[in-house]
Chains A and B, each alone.
Chain A
Amino acid sequence: MTLALYRVDDRLIHGQVVVGWGQPLNVSFIVLVDDEVRSSDWEQDLYRMGVPPSIEVRFASVDEAAQELAVWEADPRVGILLVGDIDTAVALAERAPQVRRFNIGGVHHRTGRTERLRFVYLTDDEARKLRALVARGVDVTAQDVPTARPIPIGEFT
Chain B
Amino acid sequence: MSDLHGVIVSHAAVAQALVSAVTVITGIEGALTPVSNEGCGTEALAERLSQAVGAGPAVLFVDLPGGSCLTTSLRFAKRHADIAIVTGVNLAMLLDFVFHRNISPDEAARRAVDAGSKAIRVTAA
Contact = CB atoms under 8 A, between A and B. Distances in A.
Interface of A: 10-15, 18, 42, 46-47, 49-51, 106-110, 118-119
A55 to B, nearest CB: 11
Nearest to A84: B42
A14 B68 contact: yes
Contacts of A15: 11, 64, 66-68
A11 B74 contact: no
B70 A49 contact: yes
Contacts of B75: 46
Given A10-B42, A11-B41, A50-B65, 18 more contacts: A11-B42, A12-B42, A13-B66, A14-B66, A18-B67, A42-B78, A46-B71, A46-B75, A49-B65, A49-B66, A49-B70, A50-B64, A50-B70, A107-B41, A108-B43, A109-B39, A110-B43, A110-B44
A51 B42 contact: no
Contacts, number: 50
15 contacts: A10-B41, A10-B42, A12-B42, A13-B66, A13-B67, A14-B66, A14-B67, A14-B71, A46-B74, A49-B70, A51-B66, A107-B41, A108-B39, A109-B41, A109-B44
- Most-contacted residue by chain A among B42, B70, B75 (CB, 10 A): B42
Contacts of B40: 108
Contacts of A50: 64-67, 70
A28 to B, nearest CB: 17
Nearest to A42: B78
Nearest to B65: A50
A108 B39 CA distance: 7
Contact of B68 (A11, A42, A109, A110): A11
B39 A119 contact: yes
